[in-house]
Chain A
Amino acid sequence: MDEQLAPAAKRAARERNAFDMVVDRVWRFFCSTRVAVAEIAWVALLVLIGTLRQSSVPHWIGDNIPGTKGIVIRWLDWDVFHSFIFMISLAVLSVGIFIGGMLNRMPGMWQTIRNPTIRTTRGFLNGVTPAATVAAGTTPDGVIEAITAALKKKRYRVFTEKVGDATHLYADKNSLGQLGTYPFHLAMIIILAGGIVTAQWGFRELQFIVPEGGRLDVGHGTGLSVELVQFVDTYAQTGVPEDYRSDIVILKDGEPVKSGSITVNHPLSYENATVYQSSFGQAVQVRVTDANGNVILEDALPMMYQSLLNPDAPAARIDLLPVNASLVIIGPDSNPFNQPELDTLNVRSGEMWVQVRSNDLPAGTMPPAAIVAQGHAVTLDGVTVEFIREKRFSLMQVAYNPGIPIFIFGGIMLVAGLAAVFYFPLRRIRGIIEPAPDGGATGLIAPLAKRDWSGQQDFEHLMEQLKAEPAFTIEPKIGKDAEANSATPETDVSNDEGTA
């Protein structure tokens, strides 16, 4: 039995070892700041590719650099921001942020906050510039007391530890500021989560078009519909719309539940749905009857298309299924000064150009068309189209955006966290004070500010201020040039400079 078990246990141990190794590798991968740089750069590159796709740059490249046409066409086709690669990249980045930017740094940071290493070495202090020497006629304890009092006045926390007859000193300021990195790094994940929540549980209708007097269902299981009572717009002299608004009624299961006006920036909400004003345009109210007098269409058609027959005029198009044809209506030229030669239809104000295109019409045959004045009707191919009157339609958007509170929450966390890290920088000082041969006390103190010019500057200012203290004299250490600071090898003590 034993002989049989032993190899199995060994194998299990080996497997566990392999498993641990893999976990360790993965963990270290995500902890590496180098990998983080690569991940952020990769996401930035994807965003850039997706951004440029909507610009004139790809066209320029395709036209000017030989042999790039193929790639440019694939580029223009690639919807980067909804691609699988992009999603995976964001997921990997989030895991990295969580493990490397947050979890892995926690123990080190916790230690600098709660339980910093107080002991240092003379070798370390000797190698640091700037530094300062301390001398006093009193005992080391007296000096420590005086320095502690002076540093506390400057909002430093001070810790001391006796090692032999020397006292080691550690002081720091803003040790909590670095915690801002948690809300900050976490906020990025929260914001992405907000995006996922919106995509998963929200909805957005971009083309919610309702003509005056019309009504449209919101769908998405809301049971809501929106009715446009009237549309009002005002213009500046220059022709730029000054303001426009839609007076709407929101209905639930056919019953009016809320009414109000919406303008851009001032939407109207009911339950989960919010109705936004987006744009507007012209609509045409028509009644279409077939050869037998049956009404096959009675509606306001938004004229939101452009026709090749006159690109400057609003056009509407709708299928007339019962007669196997489609109806095209084109309004008067809305910009007569722009390329007047394009206006071949000569539709005047108060008129519409109407065409009925039978699906059975042989190719190359021009479908019948006519110009109709408001209040009149015309019969084309047996179909009678009555132009009742002009109307307006409102282009609205209806959206449910459950991610927005999450997004705003994340945004506040992000900026506040950054402010804490950047504007409350950690400042640290180490020192050793010991009895001097002549009976007084002597010592050396120095900042932990390798490669941190501002930190060194702060230390020097602090020393200038401490010079005024009567209990001890403090002198900048001279004789070493400033390069020494960066030339010091990283000793075990200076290691806690980085929290990672």
Chain B
Amino acid sequence: MEGLVKLSFYCFTAASVAMFAASLAYIFHAVGRVRVERQVLATSTGETVTSTHASFDRGSESAGRWATMLTAFAAVLSFFSVVARIGATKRGPYSNMYEFSLAFVFAILVMYLIFERKYATRQLGAIVLPIASGMAIYIWSLPNSLRESTELIPALQNNLMMTAHVSAAIFAYATFAVSFAAAVLYLVQDRKNLSWLPKKEMLDDIGYRAVTIGFPLLALVLILGSVWAHDAWGSYWSWDPKETAALVTWLIYGIYLHTRTLRGWRGSPSAIVLLIGFAAVIFTYYGNYFFGGLHAYGGV
């Protein structure tokens, strides 16, 4: 491995460690403290009765602050990792699943931190950071050969278009991860209404605002991808499985944007549409494993 490729890998290693630690800290922060109280009561007849009851408390604030710090740390490290990789390959991070996933991890962390700051709430991290950590584990599981910087087949050599296409994709998927987390917490709150978790109304808003970023970005992904395909193959839409999978994902979020305005579909049902949408994102992301087709040549 050459220097920059190595540097990129070391940054990613450090970022992984920070993400795992941040996941634990966020979970610790979000789950809250459970206190079990036992009381021994003496009745007037002289018998004693024990009663236990559990009470839940706000999670540790310092765990939350640690989690944010670790996430910011991981974001910076993954940024360096992507930049070093770009320096080594002299192109955007799109030649294989290793590079693409590195960039995806970075995008998740950044989008998450933006939402955490904007809404001044940390509990979403208990879902988003484990997703980012899962991505990191996936990256670790990839064959070593993908870590080397490799030659690209000519179809992928259109730098600008590919870079724009792929950047839009990772940020779209990253915001969908945030809206997924908001939807999960919404469903929890809808049933449990826990005092130390964010209010339902705010979670609904986070889910929606994330989609208002992800939905246009995914539209851009589809359009840029098509224009690029036109330059390379003379056809802007060839019903390629990866294209169509992204289209299905886009349509599902389109459904969400309508259901959210419908009486009887607001709240939980729309949150469930968000869960389905994110399932479609995952399916699109790992589509290479199911399909042959034009997108299959990026290694793996």
Contacts and interface: CB of A to CB of B under 8 A. Distances in A.
A40 B158 contact: no
A39 to B, nearest CB: 10
Contacts of B262: 33-34, 37
Given A47-B248, A54-B292, A278-B233, A265 B223 contact: no
Contacts of B252: 44
Contacts of A57: 290
A264 B290 contact: no
A407 B236 contact: yes
Contacts of A276: 232-234
A264 B229 CA distance: 10
A451 B266 contact: yes
Contacts of B201: 451, 453, 482, 486
A1 interface: no
Interface string A129-160: 00000000000000000000000000000000
B54 to A, nearest CB: 26
B281 to A, nearest CB: 14
B142 interface: no
Contacts of A415: 216, 219-220, 223
Contact of B215 (A238, A408, A418, A482): A418
Nearest to A451: B266
Interface in A263-284: 263-265, 267, 274, 276-278
B244 interface: yes
B285 interface: no
Nearest to B241: A54
B231 A267 contact: yes
Interface string B148-163: 0011111101100000
A498 interface: yes
Contact of A238 (B151, B216, B233): B151
A176 interface: no
Contact of A50 (B226, B231, B232, B239): B239
B258 A33 contact: yes
Given A37-B258, A419-B216, A404 B247 contact: no
A166 interface: no
A81 interface: yes
B209 interface: yes
Interface residues of A, number: 57
A43 B219 contact: no
B251 A265 contact: no
B255 interface: yes
Interface stretch (A241-249, A251-259, A322-330): A241-249
Interface residues of B, number: 52
A415 B220 CA distance: 7
B291 interface: yes
Nearest to B159: A265
A51 B241 contact: yes
B78 to A, nearest CB: 27
Given A240-B151, A418-B216, A265 B290 contact: no
Given A264-B157, A408-B227, A204 B235 contact: yes
Given A50-B244, A454-B209, A37 B259 contact: yes
B259 A51 contact: no
Nearest to B154: A264
Contacts of A195: 237
B251 A204 contact: no
A408 B229 CA distance: 13
Given A242-B151, A265-B155, A414 B219 contact: yes
A267 B230 CA distance: 10
Interface in B188-240: 199, 201-202, 204-205, 209, 212-213, 215-216, 219-220, 223, 226-227, 230-237, 239
Contacts of A236: 151
Q: Which of B204, B227, B239, B292 has the most CB of A within 10 A?
A: B239
Nearest to A42: B251
Contact of A51 (B209, B220, B230, B244): B244
B39 interface: no
A81 B204 CA distance: 35
A267 B292 CA distance: 25
A411 B219 CA distance: 8
A178 interface: no
A204 B238 CA distance: 11
B87 interface: no
A397 B233 contact: yes
Contacts of B213: 422
User: Which of A244, A277, A398 is most buried by chain B, counting CB atoms within 10 A of its CB?
Assistant: A277
A248 to B, nearest CB: 15
B245 interface: yes
Nearest to A195: B237
A244 B154 contact: yes
Nearest to B161: A265
Contacts of B292: 54
A407 B231 CA distance: 13
Contacts of A265: 154-155, 157-158, 231-232
Contacts of A37: 255, 258-259, 262, 265
Contacts of B245: 51
A55 interface: yes
A56 interface: yes
Contacts of A44: 248, 251-252, 255
A498 B263 CA distance: 11
Contacts of A453: 201-202, 204-205
Given A265-B231, A453-B202, A55 B290 contact: yes
A419 to B, nearest CB: 6
Contact of B236 (A238, A404, A482): A404
B230 A41 contact: no
Given A47-B251, A55-B291, A265-B158, A454 B205 contact: yes
Contacts of B258: 33, 36-37, 40
Contacts of A414: 219, 223
Nearest to A51: B244
Contacts of B219: 411, 414-415, 418
Given A40-B255, A244-B154, A397-B234, A407 B226 contact: yes
A488 to B, nearest CB: 14
A442 interface: no
16 contacts: A37-B262, A44-B252, A47-B247, A51-B245, A52-B290, A54-B292, A54-B293, A55-B290, A274-B234, A276-B232, A399-B235, A418-B216, A419-B216, A452-B205, A482-B201, A498-B261
Interface of B: 150-155, 157-158, 199, 201-202, 204-205, 209, 212-213, 215-216, 219-220, 223, 226-227, 230-237, 239, 241, 244-245, 247-248, 251-252, 254-255, 258-259, 261-262, 265-266, 287, 290-293
Interface of A: 33-34, 36-37, 40-41, 43-44, 47-48, 50-52, 54-57, 81, 195, 204, 236, 238, 240-244, 263-265, 267, 274, 276-278, 397-399, 401, 403-404, 407-408, 411, 414-415, 418-419, 422-423, 451-454, 482, 486, 498
Given A415-B220, A453-B202, 5 more contacts: A55-B290, A56-B291, A240-B152, A263-B154, A274-B234
